[in-house]
Structures are given as structure tokens and as C-alpha cells.
Copies of this chain bind each other. A is one copy, B any other.
């Protein structure tokens, strides 16, 4: 492997001069700059980013921590988008990224995870799909040994930023559109897991809407499970005008239940995943730009790693109507 030293010798300059050219420092004459570039080309020199990191003490790698839920495999699409957004942006900004699934961290204490991160020179962590019950991550967030960005969880402190759409408003918007289109009065709301961060926010959105439009609402927790939503719909949908679901997957479950019951009710979902198209019906849903959120998260983690304060970031959302043709064309 050809090193900076050989380049320097070949170009007849000092090592540091080569380094300066490499890193675009000022105060280098056009003349020597070209000589160095020439030598680099001729020797096919490739800088060693590891050595550079060690020397500059600019470690600062970023861990992408993905908390995959067992039951919702079908929505891997969301995590894939998150990954794509983060990896693309990190590459663009020259940030080293380590992909980590929480399954790999199972059985480790907060301290062990900290040590692991540190040994990997990780100084920033982006968490996707954080659960309230994840004691270890909660502990890490409290200790503030790293810079954090938490996606879809409203945690903010000196070293932690939160990023997500406005779930309260989004749930309000999509339900309102669905309800007004069909002049509904009685709402069945199938919410997410009781301990989920976004669950409460979305319920608040629904309550605001119910008050505003003078509706009645029944709330049941479907735990983001298709089957649970299906059973809830089977039990309660008949007596209501519309079924609002806190996730696309639950909307699909509810829709299937309605088909089995042979009754029609408007249904709306939340996420905008491709899978929605496979049910063959059309539904309103909230579209989130997962790629963009994750891309933004990387920019934000960099800011915090550089000493910036944690803050809350709200991303825009939109309502889309998804149906079969949208998907397969």
C-alpha cells in the first residue's frame, strides 16, 4: 500500500505538504499543488482514512441503531428508507456510519453498550423505533455520553435531538379528510401500543378532531398488530361510521375484517407503505418522507456532535390516497 511518504518523496516535497494538498489547505502554491497531484496520480495513491482519523482525533463515527420489532416484519420498508437516507447523507458528508440492530445489543447492560460504542469510536447515535421499555437505551440517553438523535420519540436534552413529523396534527389531518368526505359521526379509532411515544400524540389529535366536529369516538389499542386490529374491527366496526387506524398494517387488518363482515366503512391508515396497495382498496394514509427524515437526522447528529444543543425538529407530512394501481405501475 503506497503511503503519503512515498508520494512526498516522489513529488520532492515534505509529507506535510502532501497532507495539506490532500485536505485542501490554503497557502500552497499552484506549482507544488500540481506536482503533488501528479505524484498522487502516478503512484495511484489512496489515502488511509483510518490513519487520518487516528491522527486528527476526529473519530466521531455515527451509530444507526435500528430497533426492529418482531411482529411488524412487513414494514421493513420503513427501516430500509431510514437506512438509505442516513447512509447516503453520511457518505455525502464523509461521516463514518455503523449499522446496528438492537438484537445485537440484547443482554448487554448500559455500561457494556457504552464501552462497545466507545471502543468503536462512536460518538453519535441515531435511534430508530425507540421503545419506552428499552431500559438500556433510556439509560444511555440519560447519561448523555454520546450525541443522540431520536426518531419518532419526543426526547430532548442537552445532547439529544428529537425528529419526527407532528403526529398529533398528522393524525388529525388524515382522519378529518376521511371523515368529512363521508360525513361520518361515529368513529372507531384503533390506536397503537399503549406505551408507544407516538400513540398518545395521535390520540390527542383524534380528541381534538372529535371535539371540533362534535363526533363520538371509541378508542381501542391495536398494538400496531394486524390481527388485533382485525379483531377490534370485527367487534366494533358495525356500530361505527368510520375506522381510523394508527398504522397502515392495522388499516389492512381492519379492511380485511370489513370485507369478511361484508360491510363498508371508510378506513384510513398511517405511514404510506407500499404494502397498503396490496389490499386492493383505496385508503387515505399519512405519507412520511422516511428517507428525508433520516437524512436530516444525520445532519442533526453532526451538529450535536460539534457541541450544538439538542432541539426538537418537526418534519412535514402529507396525505395520500393509496391504491393498487399506484403501487404496481
CB contacts under 8 Å to B, within A103-123, are 103-104, 115, 118-121
Secondary structure type dominating chain A contacts: helix
Do B80 and A50 touch (CB < 8 A)? no
> Whose C-beta in chain B lies nearest to the C-beta of A91?
B104
User: Is there an interface contact between B328 and A225, defined as CB atoms closer than 8 Å?
Assistant: yes
Closest residue on chain B to residue A73 by CB atoms: B274
Alpha-carbon separation in the docked complex, A100 to B84 (Å): 9
Judged by a CB distance under 8 angstroms, whether A13 is at the interface is no
B68 touches A59 (CB 8 A): no
Of B74, B99, B278, the residue contacting A77 (CB under 8 A) is B74
Report if A88-B74 is in contact (Cβ < 8 Å); known contacts: A50-B54, A79-B80, A230-B328: no
Contacts of A151 in B (CB 8 A): none
The answer to whether A76 has its CB under 8 Å from any CB of chain B is yes
A139 on interface, CB distance cutoff 8 Å: no
Shortest distance from the beta carbon of A322 to any chain B beta carbon, whole Å: 13
Task: State whether B101 touches A84 (Cβ < 8 A).
Answer: yes
Interface-lining segment among A41-49, A129-137, A239-247, A311-319? A41-49
Q: A53-B50, A121-B48 are in contact. Are A253 and B328 (CB under 8 A)?
A: yes
Which A37-63 residues have a C-beta within 8 angstroms of B? 46-51, 53-54, 59
Q: Roughly how many angstroms separate A53 CA and B73 CA in the complex, as a whole number?
A: 36
Q: Whole-angstrom distance between the alpha carbons of A224 and B115 in the complex?
A: 45
Query: B97 and A99: CB pair below 8 A?
Result: yes
Is A140 positioned at the interface, with any CB of B under 8 Å from its CB?
A: no
Q: List 6 A-B contacts (CB under 8 A).
A: A48-B119, A68-B80, A74-B274, A74-B275, A253-B328, A278-B279
Which residue of chain B has the shortest Cβ distance to A64 in the bound complex? B99
A231 to chain B minimum Cβ distance, whole angstroms, is 10
Q: Of B77, B99, B119, B230, which contacts A87 at CB under 8 A?
A: B99
For A59, what are the chain B residues with a Cβ–Cβ distance below 8 Å? Answer: 50
The 10 closest A-B pairs by CB, nearest first: A227-B328, A76-B80, A76-B76, A99-B99, A46-B118, A76-B77, A73-B274, A226-B328, A46-B119, A74-B274
